[in-house]
Amino acid sequence: MKSGLRTHLLSFDGKDVDMLEALRQVFPASRPLMAELVQMATDEEGHVQSAATWLLRRHMADGERLAPKEVGLLGAALGDVTDPWARQHLCQSIGSIAISVDHHQNYAAFLRACCEAERPFLRAWGVDGLYRLSLQHTELAEEVEQRLASARGDEAASVTARVRNIDLERGA
């Protein structure tokens, strides 16, 4: 059963975080809601994608987790996430998603594309997401080292700052 959340998200202007925060209180995290948000991550309306992924990210930051089925569904649909903010929110969420070996290549491909994005913040969070994915799937470690080395030379301060944070976290 749908919650009616999409109707509210259609009025999201892409900027009003207070609105999203209020909706987060009205629509508390639950398995059905998380499944609905995963579906809306690929909504045809870009602002719905952005709002749904913002809510996903916030609920996961609060400790809610995606069920394995939703992890797989999201992984299979990542190519349909077109809104840059939605893509960034998903990159920021990777550390909160338990990604099985069956789906990690879909997530890795998505994150690689984000690492090459025109938008600096998306590049920064793409590198971060790929690093976080490598913590779950160590076969990505060598690639991540290469990505981090390349990102250290990025002209965008947001990218180099994100890499510095990763380096600090790793004790490098």
Contacts with 16 (C-beta within 8 Å, 6 or more apart), sequence order:
none
DSSP 47: H
pLDDT tens-digit profile of 4-49? Answer: 899 999 999 888 999 999 999 999 999 999 999 999 999 998 799 9
What pLDDT is attached to residue 1? Answer: 47
Q: Which of 12-16, 54-58, 111-115 has the lowest mean pLDDT?
A: 12-16
Helices (H) and strands (E) in the chain, counts: 10, 0
pLDDT tens-digit profile of 60-96? Answer: 999 999 999 999 999 999 999 999 999 999 999 999 9
Residue spans of the domains in the chain: they are 1-98, 114-172
Which tokens in the block code for residue 30?
């639950």
Look up the pTM and report it: 0.95
Q: At 2, is the pLDDT very low, low, confident or very high (cuts 50, 70, 90)?
A: low
d(CA 58, CA 42): 18
